Every structure is written in structure tokens, then in C-alpha cells.
Amino acid sequence: MKLPYKWIRDYTDVNADAKTYAARLTMTGSKIEKWENYADNIKNVVCARILSVKEHPDSDHLMICMMDTGAGEPVQVVSGAPNLRAGDLVPMALDGALLPGGVEIKRTVMRGEESRGMLCSMSELGLTEHDCPYGDPNGILVLPAEFGAKEGDDICQVLALDEEVFDFEITPNRPDCLSVIGLARESAASFDRPFSLHEPVVKADASDDIRNYLEIEISDPDLCPRYAAAMVKNIRIEPSPKWMRDRLRAAGVRPINNIVDITNYVMLEYGQPMHAFDYACIAEKKIIVRRSRDGERIVTLDGKERELWPETLLITDPTKAIGIAGVMGGENSEITENTKMIVFESATFSGPSVRTSSRRIGLRSEASGRFEKGLDCENAMPALLRACELIGELGAGTVIGGVIDAYPNKKQRRVIPLDPAKICAFIGADISEEFMRHSLLSLGFEIDGYDILVPFWRDDVEGTADIAEEVTRIYGYDRIPSTLVRGETTKGGFDARQRFDRVLERACLAAGYYETKTFTFIGPRDLDRICLPANSPLRLALPIMNPLGEDQSIMRTTPLPSMLEAVMHNCNHRTERLRLFEPSMIFLPQIKDGKPDVTTLPLEKKILTMAMYGDGDFYTIKGNAEAVLRAADAEDWRFLPCTDDPSYHPGRCAAISCGGQIIGRCGQIHPQVLENYGIGVPVYAAEMDMSALYALSRSEKIYRAVPKYPAVTRDLAVICDERIYALQLEDVIRAAAGSALEKLELFDVYRGAQIGADKKSIAFSLTLRSPDHTMTDAESDAIMANILKRLGDECGAVLRA
Amino acid sequence: MKQQLEQMLKRALEEISGADSNEYLENIRVKYLGKKGELTAVLRTMGSLSAEERPVIGQIANEVREKVGAALDGARALIQRHEADRRIASETIDVTLPGVRTEFGKTHPLTTVINELCDIFSGMGFAIHEGPEVEYDYYNFEALNVPKDHPARDTQDTFYISDNIVLRTQTSPMQVRVMEKQKPPIRMIAPGRVYRSDAADATHSPVFHQLEGLVVDKGVTMADLKGTLEFFAKALFGDDVSVRFRPHHFPFTEPSAEMDVTCFKCHGKGCPLCKGEGYIELLGCGMVHPRVLAGCGIDPEIYSGFALGIGLERIVMRRFMIDDIRLLVENDMRFLRQF
């Protein structure tokens, strides 16, 4: 919300400098983001009178002018403007002048003739036809005599560009502050200065009555609590006067014509959006405010035909719609140059209704933005009267006597008890009752004993907490002391599961993996890229109704695509060796009738995802995954061959089983998947369900006595068929050795001619120990013999000679 | 004979002191103390001595044997030390050659900051909570005093799964979830991912992180809010940082405030980063709205509380002078290695 300081000061005599003003208003709740003075862009440009115009001897389009700049001797300037006329007062940039856009003007010589400055058009001053309707957009800006300017006057003063304009950031709970009056009241309270409201004085044709012309009916008072109207006849459409244009321009509003400008001016001043209809377009002298009917359409002021949703609140006459309430008027009732009579509308519409209408139609206007926030019904009438007053001041027409005010249920004022002790206890500051009363009064509250009457425009103030805020923001947040919370001690910090997550993360870090962060939504095509079949349950992902794009339209059910995206990025940037991990959230929806159920929350699971390439192979990622499992104190984990995960190489993928439950995957990414990502190196990945792992981890650790008796170490090499997995042999060895086996390590795999085709030799090192005596050779021999026998029986393995 | 022995000792000691290897020393030992050595030869002639002379010369001979033996031991030790010194000297390597690298990974800068904040708040007795990112509209909005069609919804462009389920736009639903389950005293923080339908550019991301904080107890005041957050800011940025509270508006707190901290770059003097203000907005906070408390079954006449919400990307970017938020999700190793 941009407002000029001067306009605010119509209502209060705050006279702090801009910096102090901005700082104080920011600290009382009306944040000023920045302020500017347009005149800072324009320096050394003055009004100068053209004394004479003659043709340039060496050019067919340049003219030589002698200018009176008010500083003694006439000055020569060369100009190419088509509208140069002796006697006119025009803006002239002197030698060393600064123009908007950082343009500097220097004395120069043009085709042999000296030019000691430049005559300026409106665009060279950064202005438009809307700012200067009196000017010729293609020539020098000629200043009208009515401006009363003289030679040497600073152009910024003359055009009222020298204004401090503040840019307020108004929070959505304070629509009353989207106005000069609202902010003037805040300013007055902030600086403890008086605030004086202007009572509009309307000069109307008392012999005529609006009831002769118009009737108003609110069919849907739930959406339109108040609809007030006034009428003006003998309309003369013309540009509004300079003072009004200057103010509108400073507030960032484009001046159009006197009627439109009045509605905008009143909106800025009172915060009440206004609309003007051409009376000639209203059939049967009647305005009806009602919900739209099936299939109803309207062409809005911007010339677009819009189909209306049911429930859209409309301004209509008995035959047609003439406006979408609170959003935009209809083209059919627009003010034109031929308009003779107008109806001013000053109404209040339900915020949610306007919000829905404007969203559905896809049309947001200054008015709709204000109505959405919920406006004060009581403000409609003063604003209407102010508009009528301005009609008189501008001579834009004759106000017809009387107003129509359809206001079925008059608003009641809210009453909140004043409880100074409670406020002090709540804030934790010692604020005097006197100060509370004084600040509340300055903000427009009324106080009757210990009853606070909330002003109509403060719908946001509902209880003591709000009153506390009002008082405290004027008192100053910076004056509240700083104390620390007292009371019962609470148990803080991470819980066991959160600490467990950190253990897993540390294991990844120790293994050399870097943490990544990826977006949790992906696109359906990402699932194609990781080769998920059409019937994969992972395809049943929660869709986002309003995604930013197809590639970010579903909540991921697998962390793999996002991780591969990161791998691809690094591969493309020629990272030679990569280790990445992410505790990745996935979202598994409830399935209803074969589809994701969008009415219940999905299961959110954290998957520890690791990916690597370079300097390693399958056994590297497996070793890293094992390190994580060890850090997790997981028990009974095994890596089982897994040939059916479509994203992984079927011969190089393992399912990670823990306590008999599959908790993850580990393997080489399928070459087809890598091709889909355009990744040219083998990539290895692991995925582990962190909460499943937590549930399966050994939570209690109990000391076991350090062994007293020495261990026996035996090596065992057996030859078996190629199809036998090492894990099968290990299982048999463990079962056969029983509790005597303390440690089993595979240390060699050998294939070669001596062994035979389709055979391999696998060598293990076994550590055997008895807890209560030194194991004898006979005992260990017996164990080894038993192992060999069972390996032969169950795996067809024989001792390697 | 005595003289003969003394001369032998003198010779032997001279030879030992001139020895430079163990072999040579061994030769000396054999030459003097061996079975066929000089001392043995002298002792053999002892039989020819008188009974009076014999013990005297015997004692001298023993002394000579001990002295030569001790000298030999000393010389051997010396040579061993010299040999060790030589060997060690020959093992000299170029210590400036690169070390064998054990690469440790690093946490993402966001995690680093989240962990730091968790540690600070843990120390103040705050528990850490986590909650769903796909959230009911009720928790994300309605229970936080933002009914349907409330204008505040416009300021948070929301991703919808359905009319009643959204991707949470803030971590504030965690306030409600915790208050529903736990009775005061409550001190908790909830860091997490949040979503807004903003197209990604240098300063916006549709996915980002916040940290929510909540304290509810009897007699919690706005002064406590100020004190706690000042403590937090100093713990995070150092003791010389100063903070400023400005009135603001959030539907679920009343009074509401924004907290600014002195600019990281100019330390309060005013610079382009802080737009000349000397302060930078850090977080939103306020006293929990009585309606929010009541909605969670906590009587606002007995209890009060404060809440805060911090945007974490902002802190990370400022701390590491990162100028584009997209770098945080690009996961480029050249970026990740730096933190």
C-alpha cells in the first residue's frame, strides 16, 4: 500500500521526518518496507519560458530556442520537438540535470549550435498521459497557466513530484489500514498526536429525490449485508483536477477521468471500494443483489466474457447482470463519455463470497482484494457521502437528493472488558491502566467504565489477547522485559527413535557418504524411468491437485528417482567418484478400490537411501550397507539374492533381510534405468527402511563375559557347484558347528582349471571356542568333520584337496 | 706380572674405544678374554707365583676381566645405538607427500543448522517432534484459526491433495498435534519440510524447511517469549547479536511479532543486504491464540503459551552466503563438500 505522507497529514499533524516516521510505524505494526521521493530521480529541471523559436540553419527538424530560466540572461537550447511555441512555459533540464533512469543532461553543441540543456517531454520526466492529460505526449510538456508556475520554479514542486511516499506492508487482519484514514489514525496513535476526521458535506439538489429513479433489493443479505447508493445527474466527464491526479499518481493509481478518479480516491481515503454505473443501462430503475443463475454470463469491464459459477454474487437489474459483486463491473453499465447520470455503489459483500468469485473467475482487482478481507459495513455510508462531496468540489455533476441505504441488520459493536491486571500478567510488563486507556482511545476504541467498545472497523479485535496486543504495540515491544521461562523442568531433546536416525546418518558419513536433500514430489514419468511395470503398487502415488508441473505432480513412493536425479547431475558435471545418501521420506497412500485414497493421510516412511559410483563395485555398497546395519545393532541380517526388482540388475541385487523381514535393497542399478537417465557409469544403490530397522535393532545391550579360554582357528576350503551361494554354505557351517563357532569369515573364492568348469572353491576361516575349557584337537576335529559331512549332504560340497 | 696385566688392560681399552663394529669387538673379546686369549694365558702362569702373590695378582686379573667386559658391553650398546640411528635415518620419507585419504561424508548444510537448533533448544528443555508432511487441512489451517476462505490462506499458496488434505504449508500444525496429545507443561520444537506452490527461483522453492517452537504452561508471558528467543539468537549467532521485536499478524497467535536480528553483514550499521535497516527478519512468533489453545482442549484461562516459526533456508543461506536457494537441492558434490 503506497501512500504519500502529505495525504496522511490531512488527518493528523504528525511531523516526524521520513526516517523516524517509518521506524515508529514499523514498530507499532504498520511496517514500512521502504519509502521514496520521486523527486530524487529528477534534479535541476526548472520551468522555463520559450522566448523565441527559430529554425536551425543546418537542420530541417531542429529548432533553436531562447529560454528564460529565471536566472538572468536568456539561454539557448536546441530542440527537435514539434510543438515549440514562443510564450509557453515548459520543463527544461539545465546543464548537469538528472532525469529518471539516471540520465544526465550536459551542455552540448548540436550541428554547430550550442544547447545549454534540454526541453523535456512528459516521458522524459517519467510521466504518462494519465499524469498529464493536458500535455501532448509527442512533444514538449507545456505547463498550463493554471499551475501558477513561473520561470525558474523547480519542476518537481510544480508537478507535485516532491512527495515522500511510504510503502506500507499491511497484514491481512487490518483492511482498515488499507486507507489514508486508517493509517492516519495509526500514525496519530503512534506519535500521540490528535487525529481529526473530516465530515463530508454534500451539496445536493434537494428538489430531486433518488427514490424517483432507483429502487434497491438485496435478495441474498447473507452475502451482502449493506448496499448503499447515491446518484449524480448532469455528469460532465473530464480529467480530474491536478491535486487529485497528483495524489492518485503518488499512491500508484493511474488517473482516468473525474468519476473513476473519485471512486479510486475514496477507496484510498476510506478503504471502501466504490463503483459507478451508467444509470442509462439499468433497466426498470431497479438494482437487485442476488446469486447467479445457472448458465448466466457477463462481459466485464475488461471486455472479457465470463461464465459465472453458481453462487457468484451479482449486481443485476431485472433483466441482466451489470456487475460481479465486489470484483468488477459489467461492460454493459460502464461509464462512457456519453454518460449523463450515474449510480454510485458503496456496499459491503461477504469476504469469502468475493474471494470465491474472484478465484473462480480468475480475476483479482483492487476492490476484490479488499472485500476478501472483510470490510466494515459502517464505512459504506461515509465513503458514499465523501464521493458525493467530491462530485460537488470537482463540479463533475449534480448530486440528486437523498441516498438509498439497504442495510437490513445493523451491525452491533463488540464489547470487551478492560482487565489491566490480566494484560500485565499476560504480557509480563508493568503497563499502567492510564496508558492502556489512553492508547485504546487514540486507536478509536471507546471505553465505558471497564467496558471497551470495539470500533466497527476493528472486526479483528475479539478478546483480551487482542486488546493486549493493541496496548502493547503502542507501548512498544522493545519495552517489554526479557525473561526466561520458569516452571516445571521438562524432558527435552531427541527421543530414542530420533537418536537412532542420527546413528544411521553417522554411519553413512563415516562410510564417506554426503547427505543430499531432494524434492519429495516427482512425476509419473520418473516411475517409467526407473522401469516400474504398469501394475507396480508403487505407481499408486498420491497426486497433487494443483502441481507446479507434471514432473512434480505426485508424492514419491520410492526415493530412487530423486536420488538418481542427483547422481545424474553429478555425473553430468564429471564428478569421478560419488557417494550420496539421504534419509528420504516416501508417502504410501492407503489404497481404496485400487486407487490411492485422497481422503486419509498416507503412511510416511523414511528410507535411508545410498548411492555411489566410481572406485568400487557391488561389494562396496554392500559393505557400506553392512556398516549401517552394524551401527544400527541390527540382528540376523542377511543379503538374499533378489532377481525381480525392475530397477536393479537382476544378477547383482540383494534383498536385505533383518529378523526374517525384508527391510531394503542393495545392488547395481539396472543398465536400462541408467540409460534412461543418461548415466554412463555403473551406479550402485541401497535402500533401507529406517523405522523397520529401528524396530529390529537390538535396543538393550548386556555385557557378555570376555572369553577365558583360547580359541582354535581352522581354515576350510570346499569345492561346490557355481550355483551354490556362499550364504548357503555359511548357513550349513553355522548350523553344523553350533555354539562353538565364534566367528566365520569367507576369505577366498577361486575358480580355475584344476577345479573344473561350473565349480568354485570357497575358503572360510573358522574360530571355535568353548566357554568352559580349552578346546582339544579331538573336539575341533569332530566339529570340522561334522561340518564337512553336512556341506557334502546339503550343498554337494567337497573338501578341496 | 702386575705390570703386564695393567698394560694389557690399557691396550684392550684403547682397542675397544677404537672399535666401530660388533665383529671387531668380538675379536677383541676373543683376543683378551677368550679361552686362548691373553688374559687366560697370563692366568695360566699364576701357578709359578708365590702363595702371597697369587691372591693379589688373581684379584688384579679379575678386575682386568671385569673392566674389559664392562668396556665391551658399553661399546656394544653404543654401536647398537649408532646402528639404530643409521637405520632410522635411512628410513626418512617425504612427509609432505599426500596422506592416505579416508573420506568422511558431510551432512547437508540444512541438517547442520537443524542439528544446531535442536541442540540449542534441547538444552532449554525442548523436546523434538516430527509430524506428517501430507496433512489434514484441519491441522494446517482450521485448528490454527484459519477457516476456509480466510484471506490468510491466500498468502500461503497451498498444494492440495484433496479438499481436506494438503501438503503442509508450515510446521505450525505440529503445535496442534502436540497440544492434542500432551498436557502442559509443553516445550517442544518441530523441524521439518513444508510446501508452497511457488515456482522455483533464486529465492523461492516449492519445498523448504521450517522449525516450529511451542511453550505452554501456567503463567507464560510475552516477556518469556522475548527472553527465550533472545537467548536462542545469541546461542545461534553469538553474544554480540541484538534482536528486535516488531508487531505482526499471524492468525494463530495474539499478540504476534516478527523478530529481527542485527544484520550479519553490517552488524547493524545498515547495508544493501538489510536494505539499510541494520536488521534482518529472522522469525515469526507470538502468544498462542486463546482459540487455538481451547480448540486443543487447553483452557486459555489457566494456561498461556508462545509459539515461533523459523524459516531455515534463510538462516543457512545467510550463514554460508549462499545466493541461490536451488543450490540446496541440486546436490552437486562441489557444493556439498564445502560445508
Q: Do B187 and A579 touch (CB under 8 A)?
A: no
Strand stretches in chain B, DSSP E:
127-128, 134-136, 160-162, 165-167, 186-195, 207-218, 243-250, 253-262, 279-288, 303-311
A338 shares a domain with A224: yes
Res A430 pLDDT > 70: yes
User: What span, in angstroms and rounded, lies between the C-alpha atoms of A681 and B106?
Assistant: 23
Residue A315 lies in a domain: yes
What local confidence, expressed as pLDDT, does residue A735 receive?
96
Greatest distance between any 2 Cα atoms in chain B: 133
Q: Model confidence over A441-485: pLDDT tens digits?
A: 999 999 999 999 999 999 999 999 999 999 999 999 999 999 988
Domain termination residue (choose one: A645, A662, A696): A696
User: For A554-563, A654-663, B35-44, B152-161, which range has the lowest pLDDT when averaged over its residues?
Assistant: B152-161
A64 shares a domain with A14: no
A624 shares a domain with A718: no
Domain termination residue (choose one: A428, A446, A475): A475
Residue A235 lies in a domain: yes
What local confidence, expressed as pLDDT, does residue A698 receive?
80
Res B156 pLDDT > 70: no
A348 shares a domain with A308: yes
What local confidence, expressed as pLDDT, does residue B22 receive?
87
Greatest distance between any 2 Cα atoms in chain A: 130
A171 shares a domain with A52: no
Domain residues for the domain of A329 are 204-406
User: What span, in angstroms and rounded, lies between the C-alpha atoms of B45 and B63?
Assistant: 17
Domain range summary for chain B, segments of one domain joined by +: 2-90, 109-336
User: What span, in angstroms and rounded, lies between the C-alpha atoms of A374 and A355?
Assistant: 10
A65 shares a domain with A14: no
C-alpha cell at B52: 702371597
User: What span, in angstroms and rounded, lies between the C-alpha atoms of A520 and A557?
Assistant: 9
Residue A766 lies in a domain: yes
Which residues in chain A are contacts of B111 at CB distance < 8 A?
A: 505, 515, 517
Among the partner-chain residues A477, A480, A518, the one whose CB lies closest to the CB of B246 is A477
Nearest to A586 by CA among A650, A681, A520, A641: A520
Q: Do B162 and A599 touch (CB under 8 A)?
A: yes
Res B154 pLDDT > 70: no
User: What span, in angstroms and rounded, lies between the C-alpha atoms of A694 and A498?
Assistant: 10
Q: Residue A447 belongs to a domain with what CATH number?
A: 3.30.56.10
Query: How confident is the model over A552-559, as a mean pLDDT?
Result: 97
C-alpha cell at A80: 527537435
User: What span, in angstroms and rounded, lies between the C-alpha atoms of A326 and A338?
Assistant: 25
| pLDDT level of residue B53 (50, 70, 90 thresholds) | confident
Among the partner-chain residues A485, A510, A517, the one whose CB lies closest to the CB of B215 is A485
Res A165 pLDDT > 70: yes
Phi-psi region of A479 (alpha: psi -120 to 50; beta: other; left: phi over 0): alpha
Residue A82 lies in a domain: yes
Distance from CA of B221 to the nearest CA of A (A): 5
> Vertex A589, ends A497 and A540: CA angle to 5°?
130
Q: Residue A723 belongs to a domain with what CATH number?
A: 3.30.70.380
Residue A705 lies in a domain: no
Strand stretches in A56-159, DSSP E:
63-68, 75-79, 89-99, 103-105, 108-110, 113-115, 117-119
Whether the complex's predicted ipTM is more than 0.85 is answered with yes
Strand stretches in A552-636, DSSP E:
554-555, 578-588, 591-592, 595-596, 603-613
What local confidence, expressed as pLDDT, does residue B155 receive?
62
Which residue type is seen at B302? I
User: What span, in angstroms and rounded, lies between the C-alpha atoms of A243 and A736?
Assistant: 102
Question: Dihedral of CA A548/A549/A555/A556: which sign?
Answer: negative
| pLDDT level of residue A313 (50, 70, 90 thresholds) | very high
Domain termination residue (choose one: A650, A667, A696): A696
Q: Do B107 and A426 touch (CB under 8 A)?
A: no
Q: Model confidence over A43-94: pLDDT tens digits?
A: 999 999 999 999 998 888 899 999 999 988 999 999 999 999 999 999 999 9
Which residues in chain A are contacts of B208 at CB distance < 8 A?
A: none
Among the partner-chain residues B122, B148, B330, the one whose CB lies closest to the CB of A493 is B122
Which one of A358, A371, A485 makes the best mutation probe of the B interface by having the most chain B beta carbons within 10 Å?
Answer: A485
Average pLDDT, chain B: 91
Q: Do A587 and B218 touch (CB under 8 A)?
A: no
Q: Model confidence over A358-416: pLDDT tens digits?
A: 888 888 889 999 999 899 999 999 999 999 999 999 999 999 999 999 999 898 999 99
Q: Residue A141 belongs to a domain with what CATH number?
A: 2.40.50.140
A257 shares a domain with A216: yes
Q: Identify whether the C-beta of residue B246 lies closer than 8 Å to the C-beta of residue A477.
A: yes
What local confidence, expressed as pLDDT, does residue B43 receive?
79
Domains held by chain A: number = 6
Q: Residue A320 belongs to a domain with what CATH number?
A: 3.50.40.10
Residue A148 lies in a domain: yes
Q: CA dist A710 to A53, A706, A734, A768, Å?
A: 118, 11, 20, 9
A572 shares a domain with A684: yes
Q: Identify whether the C-beta of residue A740 lies closer than 8 Å to the C-beta of residue A770.
A: yes
Q: Do B187 and A544 touch (CB under 8 A)?
A: no
A182 shares a domain with A319: no
A369 shares a domain with A246: yes
User: What span, in angstroms and rounded, lies between the C-alpha atoms of A233 and A204?
Assistant: 10
The single residue listed with the C-alpha cell 529528477 is A42
CA trace torsion B7, B8, B13, B14 (10° rounding): 70
Q: Do A519 and B206 touch (CB under 8 A)?
A: yes
Residue A197 lies in a domain: no
Distance from CA of B83 to the nearest CA of A (A): 39
What local confidence, expressed as pLDDT, does residue A146 receive?
86
Which residues in chain B are contacts of A481 at CB distance < 8 A?
A: 223, 226-227
User: What span, in angstroms and rounded, lies between the C-alpha atoms of B62 and A546?
Assistant: 108
Q: Do B186 and A490 touch (CB under 8 A)?
A: yes
Kindly report the CATH number that applies to the domain delimited by B109-336.
3.30.930.10
Distance from CA of B298 to the nearest CA of A (A): 16
A244 shares a domain with A343: yes
Residue A487 lies in a domain: no
A723 shares a domain with A781: yes
User: What span, in angstroms and rounded, lies between the C-alpha atoms of B136 and A146?
Assistant: 64
What local confidence, expressed as pLDDT, does residue A705 receive?
87
Q: Do A492 and B127 touch (CB under 8 A)?
A: yes
C-alpha cell at A686: 541401497
User: For A180-184, A704-708, A742-746, which range has the lowest pLDDT when averaged over its residues?
Assistant: A704-708
Res B153 pLDDT > 80: no
What local confidence, expressed as pLDDT, does residue B278 receive?
85
φ, ψ of residue A630 in degrees (nearest 5):
-65, -40
Nearest C-alpha in B relative to A547: B159
What local confidence, expressed as pLDDT, does residue B276 receive?
78
pTM of the predicted model, to two decimals?
0.86
Distance from CA of A312 to the nearest CA of B (A): 14
What 3-state class would DSSP assign to A660?
Answer: coil
Among the partner-chain residues B130, B185, B275, the one whose CB lies closest to the CB of A34 is B275
Q: Do A481 and B127 touch (CB under 8 A)?
A: no
What 3-state class would DSSP assign to B112?
Answer: helix
Q: Do A494 and B122 touch (CB under 8 A)?
A: yes
What local confidence, expressed as pLDDT, does residue A257 receive?
92
Q: Identify whether the C-beta of residue A463 lies closer than 8 Å to the C-beta of residue A455.
A: no
Distance from CA of B141 to the nearest CA of A (A): 15
What 3-state class would DSSP assign to B203?
Answer: coil
